[in-house]
Amino acid sequence: MSKVVSAAKITAVGIAVPDRILTNKDMETMVDTTDHWIRTRTGIVQRHMVKPGECNSDLASRAARQVLQARGLDPLDIQMIIVATVTPDMFFPPTACIVQEKIGAKNAWGFDLSGACSGFLYALSVGAQFVSNGTCRKVLVIGSDVMSSIIDFHDRATCVLFGDAAGAVLLEPAEEGEKGIMDMILRSDGAGGKYLYMPGGGSMNPPSHETVDKKMHYVHQDGKTVFKFAVKGMADVSQEILARNGVDIKDLKLFVPHQANKRIIDACAEKLGVDQSVVLCNIERYANTTAATIPIGLYEAHQDKRIQKGDLIVLASFGAGFTWGSILLRWEMN
């Protein structure tokens, strides 16, 4: 993938997290697990979960409205909406269209993007192209997942790992002297598909009593294999993006990895040689929210004033597909 010619920058961030919290102690009452196992093996302490009737587009719309408010925009200013998700409201219409209607962004067009845990980075890269080539001036990029809708709450190997949430950013053209999104490396390897997937409900295994009985509409994962690929994948692309842009790791202000497991984050940071103080980790509060982890990380870093205008940031993700990638950006918000 080639470098971005005229940059897009992030000009606002918003999130939506459901009110309901499920702690590890709560999980102990549901499956044969312990708070100790979950904390030590994953770093997770709690996760948020939608209430009955609350769906993906509700979270995505809330995050989008927060972005509009932060930037002082009218919904009619938005030209494009991309929703990265593996848990859309329905197969169709696209959740992006439902969000468009809910927030009143009548002038926007949009679509969903299925990139699993790399969905947000994929979507950010697509949105950035539309801004940098001059087609759009205001693009909403949303990562939103209701993982509780595809989790088997009887399977301790998966149900403790995920949470529900949405995060959104606004992309606009960078001003003179600004850099915004500087570079991106995006990868996929379909050979990894068998290690993390949801087999039921699509055209290969259309929904039936049998697919439901066989629990095919739930997340299936070979955790150990995904773990190994995730560490190597995120570290490799992050190293590569720093090297090819001549950025010394010491000049990096923030490293925002996908939040799937604290041990993956730590191992990846160690491989990269990046100081812990630079690594964003909030998995203890949200668990793995799939497409939402990275925008939530950016939101919190911005709110906490951990990042300032001019800071260099690397985002990195790994997920089902396999899909993975890294994005290097200079933060241009005050």
- Give catalytic residues, as residue numbers: 117, 258, 288
Which residues lie across from 20 on neighbouring strands?
49
The piece of 35-43, 53-61, 130-138, 302-310 that touches ligand UT7 (CB under 6 A) is 35-43
The owner of tokens 């939040």 is: 259
Q: Is 317 within 8 Å of 260 (Cβ atoms)?
A: no
Binding flag, residue 220, ligand UT7 (CB under 6 A):
no
Binding flag, residue 117, ligand UT7 (CB under 6 A):
yes
Residue in the shown chain whose Cβ atom is closest to ligand UT7: 223
Size of the site for ligand UT7 (CB under 6 A): 22
To the nearest 10°, report the CA torsion of 94, 89, 82, 67: 140
| The one among 8, 81, 84, 230 contacting ligand UT7 by CB under 6 A | 230
Q: Which of residues 238-267 bind ligand UT7 (CB under 6 A)?
A: 258, 260-261, 264
Is 85 or 132 the residue whose CB approaches ligand UT7 more closely? Answer: 85
Q: Which of 332, 299, 334 is nearest to 179 (CA)?
A: 332
Which residues, other chains included, contact 80 with Cβ-Cβ below 8 Å and sequence gap of 6+? 108, 109, 110, 127, 130, 136, 138, 139, 140
Alpha carbon separation from 239 to 7, 232, 247, 252 (Å, rounded): 21, 10, 10, 12
Is 62 or 258 the residue whose CB approaches ligand UT7 more closely? Answer: 258
Q: Which of residues 303-322 bind ligand UT7 (CB under 6 A)?
A: 318-319
Between 271 and 310, how does the x/- string for binding to ligand UT7 read (CB under 6 A)?
-----------------x----------------------
Q: Which residues bind ligand UT7 (CB under 6 A)?
A: 33, 37-38, 41-42, 117, 156-157, 160, 196, 223-224, 226-227, 230, 258, 260-261, 264, 288, 318-319
